[in-house]
Amino acid sequence: MTFKKHILCIGAGYVGGPTMAMIAYKCPHYKVTVVDINPTRIAEWNSDDLPIYEPGLDKIVKSTRGKNLFFSTEIERGIKEAEIIFVSVNTPVKTFGAGAGMAADLQYWEKTARQILKCSESSKIIVEKSTFPVRTAFAMERILSLTENDIHFDVLSNPEFLAEGTGIKDLEYPDRVLIGSRETPSCVKARDELIEIYSNWVPKDHIITSNIWSSELSKLVANAFLAQRISSINSFTAFCEKSEADITEVARAIGMDSRLGNKFLSPSVGWGGSCFKKDILNLVYLCRHYGLDEVANYWEAVVSINEYQKERFVLNMLSAMFNTLAGKKICLLGFAFKADTGDTRESPAIFIARKLIEEKAELLITDPRALNNAKIDLNGIDGKISYIEDPYEASDGCDAIAVMTEWEIYKSLDFEKIYRSMVKPAFIFDGRNMLNHKRLFDIGFNVFPIGKPSLTHF
C-alpha cells in the first residue's frame, strides 16, 4: 500500500505511543512509525502486553499495528523516510550542574535534533510534542540549520494536553489542539500540513494556532494552573481539619460559581505524575533566569504546598496512631499517582511509603496495575515491604489502611470482612476522600478523611 504521508515519532512513551496510535487510527492513509532507543519498550509495543496501561489503548493499537502503525528501533531509517517528525522524548528535571533540581534536562531532545540533522536526506517538518522550556524551538532551529545539504527544517510546537487514565478520550476529543509556529511562508505551510492531520478527526474550531513561544509557554502555564488548583484546595484541607469545616462542602459551594467551575477540586494526599512538578520547577527556573523572582516564588509555592500536604498526611497518621508506627502493619491501598494508570512517577505513595518505613512501619502495598513500578520505586529501601495484588490479603492483619489511589474497585470492597481481619483499633486514612466514611465508622473503623472531621471511637 502507498501512503499519503510518512509520520515518525521519536520517543515511544506515555505520549508518543498513544498519540501516534490515535493518528494511525484516524488516518489510515498515513504511515505512522514510532521509534525509541529502548529496545525493550519497542518489543513491548509490538507484543500483546503493551508497556503502558491506558483504557482504550489496546483496542486502537491492535487495530492499526502492522497496517499503518509500526514500532521500531530503526531510528535512522525512520528519519530518512519521514516527512513529518514528532519529537516526544522525555524532558526530566536536570539532576546535575547548573539548574540541577529545577531546569529541564535537554540532553535527550538535543541528541534527537542532532540525529535528525545527521540522518536527513530531505526537508522535513519537526514537531515539538514533548513539553519544552520556552524558546526551545529556537535552539532546535539553530541545530537543524547546521545542515550542509540543500534541505530545510520547519519547527512547530504542538504540546500535548492528554492526562493519563483518560488519554485515549483526551486524544480522540481534545478540548483543543494547539499549534505554534513562526509566520514565515514555509512555517505557515508546515502548520497547515499539521492542521490537515488533526482535521481528520478534530473539529476545525478546536484547532488553534499561536506564535511558537506562546505555544511552548501555554503548555507550562496549563500545568501550573491545574496543579495550583489542587494545591489551593489541599491548602484548605489543612484549614478545615483545624476549624471543623468540611472540604467537600466548601468545594461544592465554590465549584458552583460558574467563574470558578467544579473540576480539579478533589482534595488529595497530594498531586503526583511525571509532569506537574517538573514543569512548574522549570517555569520557576525560567522566571528566575528572566529576573522575575516574585513570579518564581509565587509558582514555587504551588509545589511547596504539595510537599506539605504529603508530609501532613504522614504526621496525621502518626498522631492518630498514638505517636508510634514502629512495628505496625500498614496497607497502602493503591500506589499509582492516579486511578486508571499503572504509572507511579512522582506518586505521593512513594513519599508516604518512604516516610512510613522511616517510622519503622511494615508496608503491604496493593494496586491493580502499579505493583511492578512500585517495586522499582521502592527498590533498595531498608524496611519490610510486601506487594500483594489482592486487597483483602494485603489488609489482613494490618493496623491501618491508607488510601493512596482512587481506584473505583476500592469503593465496593467488603469492608466488614476487612475490618474483621484487622488489628483493633483499626484505622483508615482516606487520602482521596473516596470511601463512605460514615459506613466505615459504623463498621468499627476509626476514619481519618482529608479536610473533614475524623470519626473515631475513642
Site string for ligand NAD, 153-172 (x = CB under 6 A): -------x-x-x--------
Rounded CA separation 269/447 (Å) = 15
Looking at residues 215 to 234 of the shown chain, list those that interact with ligand UGA (rule: CB under 6 A).
223, 226, 230
Cβ proximity of 105 and 282 under 8 Å: no
Q: Please give the single-letter amino acid code of residue 115.
A: Q
Looking at residues 111 to 150 of the shown chain, list those that interact with ligand NAD (rule: CB under 6 A).
111-112, 130-131
The only residue of 35, 212, 275, 363 in contact with ligand UGA, by rule CB under 6 A: 275
Rounded CA separation 292/250 (Å) = 33
The only residue of 213, 264, 298, 419 in contact with ligand UGA, by rule CB under 6 A: 264
CB 41, min distance to ligand NAD, A:
5
Cβ proximity of 128 and 137 under 8 Å: yes
Rounded CA separation 359/354 (Å) = 9
Cβ proximity of 62 and 100 under 8 Å: no
Rounded CA separation 218/277 (Å) = 16
Residue with Cβ nearer ligand NAD (312 or 369)? 369
Looking at residues 132 to 191 of the shown chain, list those that interact with ligand UGA (rule: CB under 6 A).
160-164
Neighbour count for residue 242 (Cβ, 10 Å):
7
Site string for ligand NAD, 260-279 (x = CB under 6 A): --------------xx----
For the CA atoms of 34, 38, 41, 43, what is the dihedral angle to 10 degrees? 80
Cβ proximity of 51 and 225 under 8 Å: no
Out of 27, 275, 287, 398, which one is annotated catalytic?
A: 275
Who's near 59: CB < 8 A, 6+ residues apart? Answer: none
Residue 431 in contact with ligand UGA, rule: CB under 6 A: no
Cβ proximity of 83 and 125 under 8 Å: yes
The only residue of 20, 32, 36, 170 in contact with ligand NAD, by rule CB under 6 A: 36
| Annotation marks residue 275 as catalytic | yes
CB 438, min distance to ligand NAD, A:
35
Q: Which residue has the cell 489496546?
A: 58
- With CB under 5 to 8 Å by kind, the binding choice for 130 among ligand NAD, ligand UGA, none is ligand NAD
The only residue of 68, 215, 266, 433 in contact with ligand UGA, by rule CB under 6 A: 266
The only residue of 9, 21, 31, 41 in contact with ligand NAD, by rule CB under 6 A: 41
Number of residues located near ligand UGA, criterion CB under 6 A: 20
Binding site for ligand UGA (CB under 6 A): 131, 160-164, 223, 226, 230, 264-266, 268, 271-273, 275-276, 337-338
